[in-house]
Structure formats: C-alpha cells, structure tokens
Amino acid sequence: MIASFGLILLCQLVGEMFVRAVRLPMPGPVIGLVLLLLLLFARDRFALLARGPLRAEGVAHASRGMLANLSLLFIPAGVGVVQKLDLLAEHGVAIMIILAISVAVTLLATAATFLAVSRLMARGREQS
C-alpha cells in the first residue's frame, strides 16, 4: 500500500521535473500517468520488474481506491466559490447559462464525432 502510493508519487515527481526541465506547457501528472503506464508495460515484458508495488495487484489496488473517490478531491477548490460571491452576484446568472450551453455543445460535438469516425472505420473494414 505505502510502496504503491510511493510509486505513484514518484511518477508524478519525475513528471513535474520533466515538464519543468523541458518547459512543456502541460501538467506534470499527465507525464506521470504516461510513465506509470510504461512501467506496467515493462513489467509485462520483464518478469524481473514484477515485484513490490508492480506485483499483480499492488499499484492497481491503490489507484482504484483513489479513483473511486475522485469527486472528493474537487471539493477544496470548489469551496473557493465563497471568495467569488460578489462577482457571482453581478455576473453569476450569465456565467451559469453560458457554461451550461458550452458544456452541452461540447458534450454533443465530442460524442457525435467519436461515433461518426468509429462508424466510418467499421464501414471501411466491411468493404475491404
């Protein structure tokens, strides 16, 4: 458990160091994600690595626990809304409406594009 959490933090740490060193305009944890994924693939290739947190259920168990409660992690930032009450009193209604429209349009455009491309691919496979 502790070793698994340590491995996750280590991946994030390396990710943060990497984006700062290379000045990438992206978050360190995303690089950490890629790194952990590469470690898992490496473990499947080389039995030598399959120990400690990289054992069958090690890091996977710790990750599932965290992802099961992903909602909780947004509460501290969200409570920051108490600092913005005067701005929301002035523009709150407009902000909520445009956020809702933008989110709905984004959801539909993304899902529709995904479906359209996967149907085109399926049709391509049938014909070939």
* Residue 52 backbone zone (phi > 0: left; psi -120 to 50: alpha; other: beta): left
> Within 10 A of 48 (CB to CB), how many other CB atoms are there?
8
Amino acid at position 109, single letter: A
Comparing CB distances to other proteins, the nearer of 51 and 103 is 103
Find out whether 87 and 29 touch, Cβ atoms under 8 Å.
Answer: no
Per the document, the length of the chain is 128
User: Does 104 participate in binding other proteins (rule CB under 8 A)?
Assistant: yes
Where in 56-85 is the site for other proteins (CB under 8 A)? 59-60, 62-64, 66-84
Where in 7-26 is the site for other proteins (CB under 8 A)? 8-9, 11-12, 15, 25-26
Task: State the minimum distance, in angstroms, from the CB of residue 62 to other proteins.
Answer: 7
Comparing CB distances to other proteins, the nearer of 51 and 84 is 84
